[in-house]
Structure 1
Amino acid sequence: MASNTSVLSIVGGATFALLVTVSLVLAYTYLTTLFKYELDVRKHPDHGSKIQVAQHPPLVPYAIPGLGSTISFSNQNIGVFWRWLRTQAERYQQDAFSIMLSGTRTHFIFSEAGISAAFRSRQLSRARLDQQLGTNVLGMSKADSLKAFPYDIDEKEKSTTARIHSEHLLTPNAVNSLTSKFMEVFLQRLDSDRSLDKGVEIDLYDWLWQNIFRSSTTALCGAKLLEMHPDFDKDYQTWEDGMLGMLFGTPRLFASESYAARDSAVSKLEKWLEAGYASSTGNQEDLDWEPNFGAKVVRKRHAFYKQQGLSVHAQAGFDLIFLAGILSNATPATGWLLLHILSPTSDPKFHPTIMNELRSCQRPDGSVDISVLTRLPLLNSAFHEILRLYVDLLVVRQVDSSVAIGHHYVKQGEQVMAPSWMTHRNPAFFADPEVFDPERFLKRDEETGKLGYSATGLGGKYFPFGGGHYMCPGRTFAKQEVLGSVAVLLLNFDIEFVEFAKRDGKQPVGIDKDATGFPGLKKGYAGNQVVGIEGDMRVRIKRKNHIR
């Protein structure tokens, strides 16, 4: 008995000693980083001076060596970390901070000049992050990830994804062809839904997500993918929700559902690729769209995959992230825009004014003139306001060689991040930044008096599609997809608000004068781009007439 007591005492003593040691290490780490932080924040440069010495942004204090501020940065309540950082910026008059993020010093730069300088810098790139995305998020081998995202490639001799996107995704002919196909499929889906003839109650965003997902996927990848795998959307949605967690290295043990969905989605894409390659006739190269592989840009990407010697497994992962680049932003952006237009909490003049604009772009046969649609002042201003308010984009670059980014000095091996949430909601850049103002981007021509809209000239204040060499190549199609979807629904259907509801539609929360029922921000890691919608709007939707 005495022997057992002695052993327990030894174990207890060792545990206590370990706890004391850990506590001392944590306290020492926090106090030393806090002391250095307090010194550095008081040495901020005089922004009015012409002579400035570039300095490392102050490092936010932390307690856990190696892990640094990873836990606080990973807070999935959207905006919490950025609001805290904003208070620090205002308190110490700083326009950049650093944190230790999983062992890497990471600089958040949120001044207009600093962000613009980061976009221009040739010493910053993202190849390493892309390769990490390849292995963690897409399930590629390290060898395939290096081939898919090479550090350098001879653009004169070989094809690159940047050149493919420039020629087959950004040119007017290419994007208009893609938009036309999307609109065709979207209209076919709506036309085939007979429940819309007499009218039906739906949860608007959930219903919208399904229709846009299937229409976009068909326009991009052809009809065969969803014919072969009609449940592909379920894998995709689960994978998309966990994508950033996987990118940050969340172990499979803690995100088993996300990893399983990724593996299933990639497996289905592999089968689709193999079937498409087997049935390819070789005479479809110049078609704008064909059922096996869809749009020309996708087929050109497949040629790039083969050029790089990617396995079919890696090709499937690469197609998955390309699809996400289009869907992950356009779909929630459409949802947010429709929610604000239809909400009884919005300005009463907003909806009827939008309707008047939309009627001006409707042709005699009922179709929508996209070229007119993309110039409507209030609709386009509201679209940009949606991006300003709901985009949580992190432009991430690795520092390839030490350089000054404006008056910020960053070292080789570190990371630079430009957070849109900090700039898009900066009261110095935008008045009442937390408020949705659909007229924010309206401009009146001084000479003609004509009302228009503009998001140009904002530099590092507003960058919903990123910036520099890596700006989102699907931005033009995404905009036309969003505006086209909104136009088709509002012009062809009577949509009546019923109530705000939780996302699954089973627990309606009603409406009150404080608009507390309006859908909120879906939880997620920082950098989710267009933030997901938490909640929904129950509406009654009825076809005005048969869609042609």
Structure 2
Amino acid sequence: MLYLKITSGSFAVDVAAYIITSVCTLLLATRIFTEARFWLRSRGAAGRFQGREPLTLPYTIPWLGGATRMMGGHSVYKYAESMSPLGRPVKLRVGSLNMYILFGPKNMKAFFRNSKSVSKDASSIMLFKNTSMPAKDVQIFKDDQSGYGATSLTEGKNETRIWKRTHDLGSAALANGPDVNLLTSRFMEEFVTELDMAPLEKTISIPLYDFLKKKMFVASTISLVGTEIFRLNPGLVKTYWDFDDGFLMTAIGLPKVLIPKQYTALDRMLQASKRWIDSPYSQLDPKESDAEWEENFGSKFIRKVAEVLTESGVSREGQAVAMLPLIWAINSNAIPCAGWMIFEILKHPGLFQRLREEVSPFMTSQSTGKTRFDIPNLVSNSPLLTSLYLETIRTCTSSSPTRRLMQDLEVDGYILKKDNHIMASSWIPAHSTIWDVPGHPANSFWPERFIEMPKMKPKDPEEKSAYEIAMRPENFFPYGGGNVVCSGRFFAKQEIMTAVALLVMKFDIDFEGGWVTTDGKTSERGAKCDESLAGSGVLTPDRDMVVKMKRVR
């Protein structure tokens, strides 16, 4: 009996050792093989102009490939750049996906110039699948291959062109001047209501970004989808921000075993959206079907999107999933951007008062006593506020235009194969030396950069200025480029500038140097961009600024 127990124990150890050794051998062999393959193929012309794909970056874990690098912020782009010192495209395997990583102005120009050869539909479909949209609803989107143009690429009725119809609605509501102004006015009204909940003429000490993101989320979301979603989901503010933390990782489909917390947050947000989406259909008064805003669906834009989805056959559950990216998009960039702007305003002595003096002429008050701004004039005639906005976009935005190739595309002598994906990073060029100015390097925040840099002329009048080069679309693309540019950028800009102007005018705010971590612990350092969220847009601060603030009349 003793012998059997000893043998059993030794056998278990032997099995464990065998498994560990086998796994380590497999990982080591994979690494050696992929490193050797990369090195052998990178010699000489590295396969350029020979009809070959870009070189595949080495990896360690079979099948997963570079998935772990995707979780490492900008390290995937820095690694790719280090492996391709001449700035040539490289390929990254991520599970079943092949991703071509592009960098450098020449390659970005080629990408944007040939943007009709790529599609963002695949990215949306991948997001829908990975956020639990029913398969039959996903298929409706897959079946529409007609494109976005006025002329359909396939035969069929206009009613079945779900991509074009929803895209046109977004362009009309988020890029059209009068419609953008209406949406911004609704946001301003809701944000003022939220801010006015703070006690008047009473100084409070609070983490500023935590205060801002909660207030601004409520105002932004109500302006877009109405108040009903909050009535049905009392804890929506916390549910959303938990969901936001893991949005990018769940959207690209990283395995649940690697990010269980993020999938749990996704499930809670999805349930909140499902509870909401059924209500408007039963609550909406037919007389309000063409209203600019009502409490059930919110904006006319969301109401019309719901109509298109219904007419296309998308189920209520599918609609709940489809609404998540819209709610995320209106909040995920605008709120961190406004937060960073306020941080920088308070960090630079005298800037708060200068900005208050600049925006005060555009402030008006209603008979109700509510603060309002003349939005078109505020946006058009506030150079310091505009420069602050652009510098924040430059220093804090990490966008990754990711698109599926609709056909083979030649870039820098390589063939990028149809049905694979292209990805790039706006972060790398936005922090490169092309933005350097004496005393104000690219990696520093200079509030007046977009006021002063355009004034700097080159010695040779025939040459382009540093500012003109830096602002070329292949160097500065926080909103994307070509035909894959963000349609919501106009509303986002107005929302952000209005939010910052309201904070500056409605509060006296003092920063005495204190910072806290996201869980409220005292921090020895200030905020940095949370690069773990690279590719998601404007990066959130990883620290919060503790301020004393007082609402003033």
Contact persistence 1:361–1:372 (CA under 8 A): yes
CA deviation after TM superposition for structure 1 residue 129, in Å: 2.5
In structure 2, the partner of 1:497 is: 511
Provide the C-alpha distance between the structure 2 equivalents of 1:494 and 1:11, rounded to a whole number of angstroms: 68
Counterpart in 1 of 2:430? 424
Aligned partner of 1:33 in structure 2 is 34
CA deviation digits over 1:8-62, x for unaligned, max 9?
666666655555544444333322322332244444689xxxx966753332222
Task: State the match for 2:90 in structure 1.
Answer: 97
| Alignment match, 2:196 | 191
Report the CA distance shift for 1:60/1:250 in structure 2 as closer, same or farther (over 3 A): closer
Cα pair distance change 1:390/1:4, threshold 3 Å: same
Q: Give the residue type in structure 2 aligned to 1:172.
A: G
Shift of 1:309: 1.0
Q: Is the 8 A contact 1:241 1:524 kept in 2?
A: no
- Letter paired with 1:309: G
2:187 corresponds in structure 1 to 182
3-state SS of paired residue (2:99)? strand
Rounded to whole Å, the distance in 2 between the matches of 1:127 and 1:459 is 22
User: Where does residue 462 of structure 2 map in the other structure?
Assistant: none
Q: In 1, distance between residues paired with 2:7 and 2:545?
A: 65
> 1:95 offset after TM fit, Å?
3.8
Query: Kindly tell me: are residues 148 and 264 of structure 1, through their superposed partners in 2, closer, same or farther at Cα, counting changes over 3 Å?
Result: farther
Give the aligned partner of residue 450 of structure 1: none
Question: Do 2:30 and 2:62's aligned partners in 1 also have CA atoms closer than 8 Å?
Answer: yes
Q: What's the secondary structure of 1:416's corresponding residue?
A: strand
- The DSSP-based 3-state class of the residue aligned with 1:94 is coil
Say which SS state the counterpart of residue 33 (structure 1) adopts: helix
Cα distance between partner residues in 1 of 2:46 and 2:353:
50
The number of residue pairs the alignment matches comes to 520
CA distance in 2: counterparts of 1:331 and 1:458, whole angstroms: 26
Aligned position for 1:370: 375
1:204 deviates by 0.5
| Aligned with 1:267 (options 265, 271, 283) | 271
Give secondary structure in 1 for the equivalent of 2:336: helix
TM-score by length of 2: 0.85
Comparing 116-125 and 530-539, the one that deviates more: 116-125
- The amino acid across from 2:450 in the alignment is F
* Amino acid paired to 1:61: P
Q: Quick one: structure 1 residues 291 and 312, their matched pair in 2 at CA, closer, same or farther if it must change by over 3 Å?
A: same
> What is the correspondence of 1:2-401 to structure 2 with a 5 Å cutoff?
19-43=20-44, 56-75=53-72, 78-89=73-84, 92-119=85-112, 120-137=114-131, 139-148=132-141, 150-153=143-146, 157-158=158-159, 160-193=165-198, 195-343=199-347, 346=348, 348=349, 350-363=351-364, 367-375=372-380, 376-401=382-407
* TM-superposed deviation, 1:273: 2.5
Q: Using the alignment, how far apart are the partners of 1:182 and 1:332 within structure 2?
A: 16
Task: Identify the residue that residue 512 of structure 1 maps to in structure 2.
Answer: none
The one-letter amino acid of 1:243's match is: F
TM-score (norm 1): 0.86
Overall identity of the aligned pairs, in % = 26
Preserved CA contact (<8 Å) 2:87 2:103: no
Residue 543 of structure 1: which of 540, 546, 551 is its match?
Answer: 551
3-state SS of 2:289 partner: coil
The answer to whether the 8 A contact 2:166-2:305 is kept is yes
Q: Output one character per residue of 1:357-389: Cα deviation in whole Å (capped at 9) or x when no partner.
A: 223433487632222222322221221121121
Encode CA deviations 1:110-165: one digit per residue, 9 max, x unaligned: 1122123223333322323321211212x211221232465424767136211111
Structure 1 residues 377 and 95, CA gap change in structure 2 (3 angstroms):
farther
Aligned-pair distance for 1:238? Answer: 1.1
Name the structure 1 match of 2:442.
Answer: 433
Please identify, of 165-174 and 281-290, the stretch whose mean Cα deviation from structure 2 is larger: 281-290
Residue 328 of structure 1, CA deviation: 0.6
1:465 to 432, 457, 479: 479
Say which SS state the counterpart of residue 393 (structure 2) adopts. helix
Contact 1:44/1:94 (<8 A) preserved: no
SS of the residue corresponding to residue 521 of structure 1 reads: coil
SS of the residue corresponding to residue 388 of structure 2 reads helix
Q: Aligned residue for 2:463?
A: none
The alpha carbon displacement at 1:342 in A equals 0.7
Unmatched 5+ residue regions in structure 2? 152-157, 458-466
Kept in 1: contact 2:352–2:504 (CA 8 A):
no
Cα offsets for 1:261-307 (capped at 9, x unmatched): 33333333333232211122322233211121111111110111101
Residue 411 of structure 1 is matched in structure 2 by 417
For the Cα contact (< 8 Å) 1:99–1:105, is it kept in 2? Answer: yes
Preserved contact between residue 204 and residue 539 of structure 1 (Cα < 8 Å): yes
Counterpart CA distance in 2 for 1:538 and 1:118 is 43
Aligned to 1:485: 499
- 2:38 & 2:435 partners in 1: Cα distance? 27
Contact 2:433/2:442 (<8 A) preserved: yes
Residue 155 (structure 2) aligns with:
none
